[in-house]
């Protein structure tokens, strides 16, 4: 397979890697390859970089079958990775069964938790020191907005996250790509994305947020850009102080009333 990234794609890809110090000589990077459009593009882009970079690193890919269906066929991904010249592995984990036995708990949280654990475990067992995930810019902005609306905090995932418990480092080289741009990359690598087998696909809180952002952006074209700007550090910040604990608040009440004349 002739591997090539057009300059506009390569510029954004390499900017994230350099800006956030994602790559060092001797790294062994495992891509979480689901077969969706994002992870296919990430795997392809890293394979291109591996061929041309002066920083030497190893690359592999891994797919977890969560058993949402009984006919998962990894053959297209095996062939894809073989053409890219990178090792590929796959394992099964009965995440579907775990979700069924945990009624009342958020299925997306449960799925993400066990997926991360499986990918990280495979990486450790096979000597990888970094895991590359295909989260893009829209994912970061949506996570930021979800935190504000549903958890009351201003937070999103970091482009680089070190996991102290496992010693692994998670990198997200697609953080400067919009999702709509990644949809256009199928022609680069030639593999049709595999449809998500998730039974919740299109019915999640994240999908609601995605649609809400799209509607607000349609009403105000600057809305998405302002959200994105707000999640970067160094911006003016004027927030209320931390909410006091009950003990701290009681102490302040006692101090206040002791100053009042009897």
Tell me the mean pLDDT per 10 residues along the chain, length 262.
Answer: 89 97 98 96 98 96 88 93 97 78 69 87 97 97 95 93 96 97 92 81 84 96 95 85 92 82 47
130 Cβ contact partners less than 8 Å away, ≥ 6 residues apart: 22, 27, 28, 29, 30, 123, 168, 169, 170, 171
Query: In this structure, what token pair is assigned to residue 132?
Result: 């590359």
Residue 2 lies in a domain: no
**Domain enclosing residue 61, as ranges:** 7-197
In 3-state terms, what secondary structure has residue 42?
A: helix
Residue 207 lies in a domain: no
Residue 245 lies in a domain: no
Q: How far apart are alpha carbons 206 and 15 in whole angstroms? A: 27
| DSSP line for 83-112 | HHT--EEEEE--HHHHHHTSTTS-HHHHHH
Number of domains in the chain: 1
Question: What pLDDT is recorded for position 262?
Answer: 45
Say if strands 58-65 and 168-171 run parallel, antiparallel, or are unpaired. unpaired
Residue 135 lies in a domain: yes
Residue 211 lies in a domain: no
Question: What pLDDT is recorded for position 28?
Answer: 98
Question: What pLDDT is recorded for position 132?
Answer: 98
Question: What pLDDT is recorded for position 209?
Answer: 95
- The whole-model pTM stands at 0.90
Other Cβ atoms less than 10 A from the Cβ of 135: the count is 23
Residue 91 lies in a domain: yes
Residue 215 lies in a domain: no
Three-state SS letters, 187-234: HHHCCCCCCCCCCCCCCCHHHHHHHHHHHHHHHCCCHHHHHHHHCCCC
**What CATH number does the domain containing 74 carry?**
3.40.50.620
Residue 143 lies in a domain: yes
C-alpha dist (Å) from residue 17 to 51, 95, 173, 179: 15, 32, 6, 18
């Amino acid at each position: 397979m002739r591997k090539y990234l057009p300059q506009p794609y390569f510029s954004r890809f390499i900017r994230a890697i350099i800006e956030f110090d994602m790559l060092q000589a001797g790294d062994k990077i495992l891509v979480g390859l689901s077969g969706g459009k994002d992870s296919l593009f990430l795997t392809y882009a890293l394979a291109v970089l591996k061929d041309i970079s002066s920083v030497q690193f190893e690359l592999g890919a891994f797919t977890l079958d969560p058993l949402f269906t009984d006919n998962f066929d990894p053959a297209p991904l095996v062939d894809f990775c073989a053409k890219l010249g990178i090792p590929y592995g796959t394992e099964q984990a009965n995440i579907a069964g775990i979700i069924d036995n945990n009624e009342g708990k958020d299925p997306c949280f449960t799925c993400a938790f066990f997926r991360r654990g499986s990918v990280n475990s495979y990486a450790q067992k096979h000597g990888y020191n970094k895991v590359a995930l295909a989260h893009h810019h829209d994912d970061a902005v949506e996570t930021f907005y979800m935190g504000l609306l549903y958890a009351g905090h201003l937070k999103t995932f970091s482009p680089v996250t070190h996991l102290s418990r496992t010693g692994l480092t998670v990198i997200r080289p697609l953080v400067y790509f919009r999702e709509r741009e990644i949809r256009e990359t199928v022609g680069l690598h030639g593999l049709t994305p595999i449809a998500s087998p998730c039974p919740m696909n299109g019915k999640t809180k994240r999908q609601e947020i995605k649609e809400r952002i799209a509607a607000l952006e349609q009403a105000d074209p600057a809305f998405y850009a302002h959200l994105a700007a707000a999640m970067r550090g160094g911006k003016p910040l004027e927030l209320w102080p931390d909410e006091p604990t009950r003990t701290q608040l009681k102490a302040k009440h006692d101090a206040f009333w002791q100053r009042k004349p009897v």
